[in-house]
Amino acid sequence: MVVSDEGLGSEAGVEILKKGGNAVDAAVAVGFALAVVEPEAGNIGGGGFMLVRMADGRARFVDYREEAPGRATRNMYVGADGKVVPGRSTLGYLSVGVPGTVAGMAFAQKHFGKLTLAEDMAPAIRLAKDGFPLGAKLAGTLRGSADRLGQFPNSKRIFLKGGALYSAGEIFRQPELAATLERIAKNGPSEFYAGKTAQDLTAQMARHGGLITMQDLAKYRVHLREPLEGTYTARGAKWTIISSPPPSSGGIAILEALNILEPYKLKSWDDAQSVHLVVEAMRRAFADRATFLGDSDFAHVPVAGLLSEKYAAERRATIDPREASSSKQIGAGDPAPFDHLQATPAEGTPGGSAIEKLSPEAAAAWMEAAAQKSGHTTHYSVVDAAGNAVSNTYTLNDSYGSAVTTTDGFLLNDEMDDFTSQPGTPNMFGLLQSEANAIAPGHRPLSSMMPTIVLRDGKLSFVTGSPGGPRIISATLLSILNWAWLGMDAQAAINAPRFHQQWMPDIVLIEPPFPDAIANDLEQRGYHLATRRGWIGEVEAIGIDPKTGERLGAPDPRRQGAARGY
């Protein structure tokens, strides 16, 4: 079973499974195919995370997150007036981090796949060379991003038809991208990091004030990490949550939230008390995210403290059983006594920021604006016949990334916005972040991406993840609660209405189908709800029937996800 945002991407994965590839081969095929058919998020000019669990129980986390270039500086987005310059970290060459996708896909294929990289890339090359009919969704996102893409000649020529714009049903061919993919398939990842593609990219950077050099590309390395794990009991079963370590914030956030929630009996999202408890757990996990998390290769992240049961008990004790907390009063906790390295918050953690001082109405407007950004990341899940599983989330950050397209036909990320441009100043998603996530050469920005795999009594049960900036964490957490704690079937677990709270601003987002009675109840408890409802995340998941072992593809209908199997 393969579930992704796009049918052609999912079909590429199934094609590789039918040829004898395993789940990792299929995941690599989907990754490269989405770079062709979902250019707003699928990419070779971005980066991400792949969580692999082999049928023998081995679980590893492939970190191919983007890095800050060697010439990046701490205050590169701060103007002479001491304020962050709008757009400098989100548009154009200066916003681009060193891409990791090609290295990550090649690493995963080499260490966990069965076929060759060239075999796994064949569907993507065919789609780029022969073209494919544009769907209404892609045609719409191209129109919606025309202002940004139109500022860069290659982007305007390739993705906007020179300004004429594409219509749904037209055949979209990308010959430059096809040639690039063919070179990578032939020469391996060294093509992207040292070959013609690298030379073309760095020459373009030099011409337009970008920072990435040949040395940056040559130094890039994939990091193979141990995933985080948490174990819980629900509905008479033992559930193991395998998720993402730093520089992802998501794994820590959901495990902390689940630790806080463990003693509670959640009923449904038609029960205001259940929603209240989950929102309060989200609030505390996000407050700790803003204070303590960053690139653990360079800053101590108190993982053990944050995931301690005793720390969860302290955080739980601050929850009023009936009333909403105030984010201004709650703030971050102190995990240091429970962390073996006695970590303390980094200097410059977000306190007294402008976003805290907004009125509830202004904060709601801010959150609603942030929620409208597609942000665009994409997630897909794969399970093969042997029981190997892959959960992969990768990104360009904003929709179409920096909006810059290289001469070799691929878009570049604007991932530098995920760093802390200035403590106390929110990024494009309204997130506050600490000095631990400050810009520095070779550092990887904190991410909300969190590919996750769930075991039931030690056996593969659920593969999940989502795009959506900070809403990734809420959407993924809710999908797990729906499947494991509430006992929904796989598709119902994805379809169920979602809600989101990220500490600051002190606003709760809810989706359009969310029950009005529950929304009214939350307001009576003191919650500030965003007046405009919007979709939260885009979870593409696979459930495993515990009795039959059948793979249950559960695509997200919010943005027309696609499940394919055989």
Known active-site residue 377: yes
529, 523 Cβ separation under 8 angstroms: yes
Cα–Cα dist 558/566, whole Å: 24
Cα–Cα dist 196/315, whole Å: 53
Which residues, other chains included, contact 265 with Cβ-Cβ below 8 Å and sequence gap of 6+?
A: none
Quick count: other Cβ atoms within 10 Å of Cβ 332?
A: 21
Degrees (nearest 5) of the Cα angle 275, 280, 286? 125
Radius of gyration of the chain, Cα coordinates, nearest whole angstrom? 22
List the beta strands (DSSP E) in 152-304: 171-172, 223-225, 228-234, 237-243
Cα–Cα dist 242/53, whole Å: 9
202: closest CA among 184, 191, 217? 217
Cα–Cα dist 483/486, whole Å: 6
Containing 434, the helix (H) or strand (E) segment is none
Exposure string (b/e) for 398-413, b if CB count within 10 Å is 16 or more?
bbbbbbbbbebbbbbb
Q: Is 82 exposed, middle or buried (0-12, 13-18, 19+ CB in 10 A)?
A: exposed
Catalytic residue among 101, 349, 377, 452: 377
Catalytically active residues are 377
